[in-house]
Structure 1
């Protein structure tokens, strides 16, 4: 298996091709690059005579002169070097080694040294590319792929190849260009890549092999390392050749199979060696331990286990304690490691632009501690069964049971998930309404744009757009916002809106996992006929995923409409759902071609929508919906949230928990009940029932009703506390002890809305103090200063309260008449944020 290592931040990451890619690479190798062939061994006279005729001959005399002059100049240069063929002479020049250097500079220097350079080297420099491209098109010289991709001259090799090498083959590619949904900015470079393979390997479009395409992709990564910002690594050229039938039937259906992003499974040794451990005995121990655990866990769990033990545990110890070679840690070393695991440093910039480091708790610290504790306990247990193998490593575990607090961790996680569920359940109907409306609006915008010409305006649901005028061909529909000029791809908007709606509807109505959603196929839609009534019941067959349990769900009429829309969208012209190849990101394997329901066209290839793509669709729909949480922040939904919402709603509406367990595919009913959120109404009802039972055991006279006089006195106390500046905070049954000097009284709770009154009092006091000092009323001035100091203190308290109120959420006194405690209001227009209103 081909592998490569890339070092980053002290760690070594292994890149490789999957096993499927290796098999296909051996089956479809790239064509070799020969050093000699009949055409390249022809004499100069034969070459010039052929290139002067058809189809190389230019139409006008000026172009013919320039082509002849540039060709002769390049041939003069090549003849300065030894070789029995033009290809050997080209290799001898050394100009074809590095395409980033301009080969024309060397040519002019060589000709000048030989005395063959004319009087106008500048004009010759501009024409040299025309001479070399004739030799390439005539198949006399075959530069390497790397040189052709990097050089700035010659350009437009595809135009020359279409003229002199394979007019029909390149015409087929350009026909796909005009009929596809891919724009010229992407399609033209793809056609150019096909021409580069013809130039480097010879032959026509039909001679290009899948191996040539794989070699070009690998060469592209070597010539242009780094991220794919300019689209240099786009695999569209492979899709282009596959779409015209240039490859055999058993060729790889997608070039993604040869990408290092889909590296397949790593061996246990590779999983450990990613982090380059210094202590070889511990490295061997970790390999043996993971190999022992491998048969009982899936690949995703094995990968997480290797990362935790290798990176977070032993690599961290080696980084802070060089030379460590024993699992028996001293108390100081163990305490230091546990402290580092529990916290992490976050770097951010403050308002001045300076980098600030903040220490925060690590969310995964408990999981890491549990994994390492299990590692030590496993070694101790295995040492009893096999002392020779595991005995030397059986040492006391540095992580005590008190360090983990598994019960508290589970309780906190349950509390967080319940709060998340309670916050999102009332917003779910609003979200479903918004995505449905956005899907219809996006489709209406696209349909309206198709009926108008470039530059014309159209209006859909109050939104006015203008059909964009494009400088180059694009099969996609673009529109502009008249006010800002921002362009919008209406095809992409409609596609994203549809798949976001479909994903959210299926997830919320079935409660399936997101990986199960991406694995739904056309055969997943089955029917069951009852034996007694003969009624047909539509069922949705959920493929085995996390628990390897297959299950069937009854399809409701609403879900049937969604699935029908999905099938109609992905169905091909022959009525069948296309077969696509999906990559299992958990097990790191390529699945066989299947008629997946969630698939979409990317370029010229139909690809399954991956798990990350579903998350992006949901996030985009939420961003457009304007839904906010209780703090006013944009609300986020993870795909798994819909599973918890489905469980909570089903159980609260009367579904027996054991039935919900079967629908969700849980092995343990406690897992199902863990998904079900606890609502305040349930706690209140339970508490009220407890109070009723307690009251039944106590004397009834303790619960007598108050008399009318007592009740009026109670209400009168609170009425008498109301003041112009706010409320008096004295307790019930007490009178005013400050002689109604409310400004000085510490029990006065000033209403922030009455701040202006307090400001007026302060200003009046300042004026009166000045008057008293002027008149010589010393006693009066002293009393007024006490009142002024109290007034300023009250103003400062109001300022603090206002600042605190802006930074926090005013909870008020919630009511729990509804299950969720609040409702969601759907905006009239998709661009209007959706607000939440409390039930009172």
Structure 2
């Protein structure tokens, strides 16, 4: 059996512990092939190895260059023969030459010079000899050495195509040249990386595994300290050619996500010190796992392991029991509730300006309280397992009372909806304008020669030289812009805003809309065909159907036309569910775009960026913060429900469209407008007044009027006193005789008579000139003036009575 050595490259460190655990799981699923140290050609003798390395297939047409290669082979084989080991591969590895990296020739040169072999051509001859030994499969250097030795790596593909796998490399080149989306650079790097794997592992292109690709990526990342370019293209080409096998994921991005973590991995992300508590949390998550989805399980592990116990360990080290002292529990609850606020405008300040309250701190308290209560309940059922962990609950009932918090949240949601609903037409107009302007600039720039100036959408631009798929221009401010990216962002922002506002669906439901979601329904009564949009089950695990309006149909048809390929078919692509951390099966997703050589589903973060960019162009500001107005995808859901209910959509129908199980949730998303109460109250008064006798509507007495004015701030006008409600449109100096709240001052009776006479003259003039609209308004004012005069006349001045002084008895 051939001996093996471990790969030399260490995997790159991901940004978080969860990513590290996920990638470790993916590398366990797809292990790389071992690197053997013994195979038939590695055991050739010196003459046999020389004869095979100088075979006709490896001979160079230039005899001078070929002669230098043969001399280099003799020198290199002589040096290797002097190293310890039974095979050429063992001698190469034991020599330690790979540790020198690109300076590997120093070792054989030093050995040759010590034996009197000197020549200025020796470095070139040794490099040529090393390449042909790799081509002939006599040596298999490690991936790490091949990746950092460009003089060897650059010519591997051409040399391995001579004898090792000519059909495979020919198939790879033909596939790349047939696809216009694959650049020459991507083709060169793909062949080069495939040749590195074959040179290190042996075999052909068909023998490359997913683990080999992952090992090469880890090696390059470790050497470059950055993510290597064109890796997704390299993987996609090998996958499409069928070299990676049937079990290989369709996209390289699927290998970068580790999928769902186990309860042990979820807890170990936070590196808890107390092992008993760590094991308890793992057991608790396993017990809750069957009844929770993965996203809820992940959140539960975060609150219990990170926000609760990790915080206890950081601030109170040494505690190893759930029976927390009262002062420790109180301090922890305060830390959960408070969040430090940095001081603004003070660059040298290292402290905070005082803690602020977290909006969602009760969610953590609820999780911890439920954790303690579950342990108490389970201790009754299985005391041997859970009874030792029963302890007083650090979170009391009053701490999780959230009735007031719900009302505050409702008020914040309603205020947010009221601020954004009136400006929604501005956003719709802006995304439409941006889409048309970006399309015009891109179409104009594509017909302009590089380094030439042009004008499009009212902007003066200069096109630069092509750079891959980018179409770069310089605007009048000297900024470099990619018109293709701008056009993509403008189009998808327009599509996302319109679909969200016209359907009221969630962001995850938007990402799951496919070409198959559009269905037709024929009405049984009229036979009319109604287009419907099928929303896949998401949060409530229940699908629903939404009627496609003509405006929504235009948006969806524009999306379908855009994403169709040359054959008129919507491409099938896998999409990542960031809630469940799983890749969905390939489907004709509508929200997808071209990314390099492949189509990718647009993720939720990109949709948010597109919407924020569109909002920035509107110039709208947030009244609360004074900064640019922001709008999340879920805001469109509340706007849709509020607008629908305000315009006559029954709440129970809005509940079905929104996909809510409880109608109270639907009404919670609907913002309450004061105008509703005002209009309803006015309608009620009008109906009651029309049904009741007019005699009941008498003029109030002075005492009644004074009592009524006690609820308002009084204001003085020119002819009377009247209540001054907040934001009253009337001026404080304008007599409003029409107003029913006008309480005429008897001292102003002559003034009101003058106003009445003036109204009579103006009515006569309006009738003479034919101003019929003004006549109607003046008559209403005249009626009000006569009514105020009648009120003054009815208010008689009290009569003075002379009362005699009573006489005292004698």
TM-score of the alignment, normalized to the shorter chain, above 0.5: yes
Question: Structure 1, residues 745-802: CA drift from partner, whole Å, max 9, x if none?
Answer: xxxxxxxxxxxxxxxxxxxxxxxxxxxxxxxxxxxxxxxxxxxxxxxxxxxxxxxxxx
Equivalent in 377, 390, 401 of residue 397 of structure 2: 401
Partners of 2:492 and 2:15 in 1: how far apart? 37
Partners of 2:248 and 2:280 in 1: how far apart? 42
The 3 A distance-change label for structure 1 pair 446 and 131 is farther
The 3 A distance-change label for structure 1 pair 31 and 430 is same
Equivalent in 545, 549, 555 of residue 548 of structure 2: 555
Give the SS at the match of 1:446.
helix
The 3 A distance-change label for structure 1 pair 433 and 696 is same
The 3 A distance-change label for structure 1 pair 378 and 157 is same
* Aligned counterpart, 1:342: 337
**Paired residues of 1:4 and 1:16 also in contact (CA < 8 A):** no
Equivalent in 149, 152, 159 of residue 151 of structure 1: 149
Give the SS at the match of 2:546.
strand
Question: Structure 1, residues 38-81: CA drift from partner, whole Å, max 9, x if none?
Answer: 44444555655665676545565665565555545433432331
* Aligned counterpart, 2:213: 213
TM-score, normalised by the number of residues in structure 1: 0.74
State which structure, 1 or 2, has the greater radius of gyration over its C-alpha atoms.
Answer: 2
Equivalent in 253, 260, 263 of residue 256 of structure 1: 253
Partners of 1:324 and 1:636 in 2: how far apart? 44
Give the SS at the match of 1:235.
helix
Partners of 1:698 and 1:302 in 2: how far apart? 68
Deviation at residue 356 of structure 1 after TM alignment = 5.1
Mapping for residues 273-422 of structure 1, pairs under 5 Å: 273-345=268-340, 352=347, 355=350, 357=352, 359-422=355-418
* Aligned counterpart, 2:779: none
Mapping for residues 735-814 of structure 1, pairs under 5 Å: none
| Aligned-residue CA RMSD (Å) | 4.0
* 2:423 pairs with 1:427: yes
Mapping for residues 48-87 of structure 1, pairs under 5 Å: 56-58=58-60, 63-64=65-66, 67=69, 70-87=72-89
**Paired residues of 1:540 and 1:555 also in contact (CA < 8 A):** yes
Partners of 1:647 and 1:265 in 2: how far apart? 34
* Aligned counterpart, 1:198: 198
Partners of 2:203 and 2:15 in 1: how far apart? 42
Equivalent in 12, 15, 28 of residue 21 of structure 2: 15
Partners of 1:617 and 1:412 in 2: how far apart? 30
Which shows bigger deviation, 68-77 or 531-540? 68-77
Give the SS at the match of 2:35.
coil
* 2:528 pairs with 1:535: yes
**Paired residues of 1:14 and 1:274 also in contact (CA < 8 A):** no
**Paired residues of 2:160 and 2:166 also in contact (CA < 8 A):** yes
* 2:582 pairs with 1:586: no
Deviation at residue 239 of structure 1 after TM alignment = 0.7
Give the SS at the match of 2:152.
coil
Deviation at residue 538 of structure 1 after TM alignment = 0.8
Partners of 1:466 and 1:75 in 2: how far apart? 59
* Aligned counterpart, 1:821: none
Mapping for residues 296-695 of structure 1, pairs under 5 Å: 296-345=291-340, 352=347, 355=350, 357=352, 359-470=355-466, 474-481=467-474, 483=476, 486-630=479-623, 632-682=626-676
Question: Structure 1, residues 414-439: CA drift from partner, whole Å, max 9, x if none?
Answer: 22222222222223222222222222
Question: Structure 1, residues 7-37: CA drift from partner, whole Å, max 9, x if none?
Answer: 999x8876135988866x3xxx644433334
Question: Structure 1, residues 119-167: CA drift from partner, whole Å, max 9, x if none?
Answer: 54xx644664443223223332211122222335434135533763556
Partners of 1:347 and 1:195 in 2: how far apart? 54
**Paired residues of 1:157 and 1:196 also in contact (CA < 8 A):** no
Partners of 1:74 and 1:143 in 2: how far apart? 15
User: Structure 1 stretches of 5 or more lacking a match?
Assistant: 720-840
**Paired residues of 1:79 and 1:89 also in contact (CA < 8 A):** yes
* Aligned counterpart, 2:801: none
**Paired residues of 2:68 and 2:125 also in contact (CA < 8 A):** yes
The 3 A distance-change label for structure 1 pair 406 and 600 is same
Partners of 1:45 and 1:308 in 2: how far apart? 69
Partners of 1:159 and 1:353 in 2: how far apart? 57
Name the count of aligned residue pairs. 700
The 3 A distance-change label for structure 1 pair 333 and 7 is farther
Give the SS at the match of 1:546.
coil
**Paired residues of 1:383 and 1:389 also in contact (CA < 8 A):** yes
* Aligned counterpart, 2:794: none
The 3 A distance-change label for structure 1 pair 602 and 557 is same
* Aligned counterpart, 1:242: 239
Partners of 2:405 and 2:44 in 1: how far apart? 79
**Paired residues of 2:42 and 2:139 also in contact (CA < 8 A):** yes
* Aligned counterpart, 1:161: 159
Partners of 1:373 and 1:690 in 2: how far apart? 49
Give the SS at the match of 2:665.
helix
The 3 A distance-change label for structure 1 pair 569 and 328 is same
Give the SS at the match of 1:154.
helix
Question: Structure 1, residues 593-629: CA drift from partner, whole Å, max 9, x if none?
Answer: 2222222232223222222332233233334554433
Question: Structure 1, residues 685-707: CA drift from partner, whole Å, max 9, x if none?
Answer: 578899999x9999454449988
The 3 A distance-change label for structure 1 pair 402 and 455 is same
The 3 A distance-change label for structure 1 pair 491 and 380 is same
Mapping for residues 48-197 of structure 1, pairs under 5 Å: 56-58=58-60, 63-64=65-66, 67=69, 70-96=72-98, 98=99, 100=101, 102-112=103-113, 114-118=114-118, 120=120, 124-125=122-123, 128-158=126-156, 160-161=158-159, 164-165=162-163, 169-170=168-169, 172-174=171-173, 179-181=179-181, 183=183, 188-197=188-197
Deviation at residue 247 of structure 1 after TM alignment = 4.4
Partners of 2:627 and 2:411 in 1: how far apart? 20
* Aligned counterpart, 2:740: none
The 3 A distance-change label for structure 1 pair 192 and 346 is farther
Give the SS at the match of 1:328.
coil
The 3 A distance-change label for structure 1 pair 128 and 457 is farther
TM-score, normalised by the number of residues in structure 2: 0.77
Deviation at residue 210 of structure 1 after TM alignment = 3.5
Deviation at residue 184 of structure 1 after TM alignment = 5.4
